[in-house]
Amino acid sequence: MTPAADHPEEETTYERFKEWLLRIETWSVILISMATVATAWSAYQAHRWGGVQAVNFGLANTNRTESVRASNLAAQQTAVDVNVFTDWVAAKAAGDQRLADFLEQRFRVEFVPAFEAWLELPRINNIPEGTPFTLPEYVLAERERSDQLADDAGAYFEAAKDANQTGDNFVLIGVLFASCLFFGGISTRFDRIGPKIVLLSIGSLLFVTAAIIEFLLPQNVGI
């Protein structure tokens, strides 16, 4: 017979102590298990968002490069339009209608609407005021494409920044879950119930806080 069995009160206290100890150990195991899974999920999410960041930065650079190319092509097209139009004005001023008609037939398709709108403006010495290049009818597809690509590049860049911040947030959450593992693990090194409860309480508080934040963050699941 054990010494506790000789004293019913001591036996009851001992049984209660074992019951509490079992509950605390169970609490510790559950906390460590959940924190382990949550830490792995945070690492997975950080990796996924790092991939999103890289893809969006790549798209931003690609679109920015294409925007520059389109802008350069638009500038070349404008230069062609300006040169041909300048020659047309010179021919018109010199009274060489044959040359003016020849040049007019060589106008680029995108320049024609602006040129025709310009011909409707008030005239000075038989030449309309201003130039077609300041009119809203002068629209270059490559210039619009350049602007759109630049806007897309900016949007991709912002998306990459957001993905980077999200990934950093998941890394921080992973640190909090790792702290839960620390408190849950170190609680098993103490024999007294008091320190165990304090450490597990801290770990549980960190876990709940981290879990709430993680739940509120955008999730990226690759299937």
Q: Evaluate whether 143 touches 74 at the Cβ level (below 8 Å).
A: yes
**What pLDDT is stored for residue 30 in this prediction?**
87
pTM of this prediction? 0.74
Q: What is the mean pLDDT of each run of 10 residues along the chain (223 residues)?
A: 52 65 80 90 93 95 96 96 94 89 93 93 81 93 96 96 94 92 80 80 89 91 69
**What pLDDT is stored for residue 16 in this prediction?**
66
In a domain, residue 138? The reply is yes
In a domain, residue 21? The reply is no
In a domain, residue 3? The reply is no
In a domain, residue 8? The reply is no
Please state the domain count of the chain.
1
In a domain, residue 77? The reply is yes
Q: Evaluate whether 77 touches 109 at the Cβ level (below 8 Å).
A: no
**What pLDDT is stored for residue 2 in this prediction?**
47
Q: From CA 58, how far away is CA 45, in angstroms rounded?
A: 20
**What pLDDT is stored for residue 190 in this prediction?**
72
Owning domain of residue 101: 27-216
In a domain, residue 87? The reply is yes
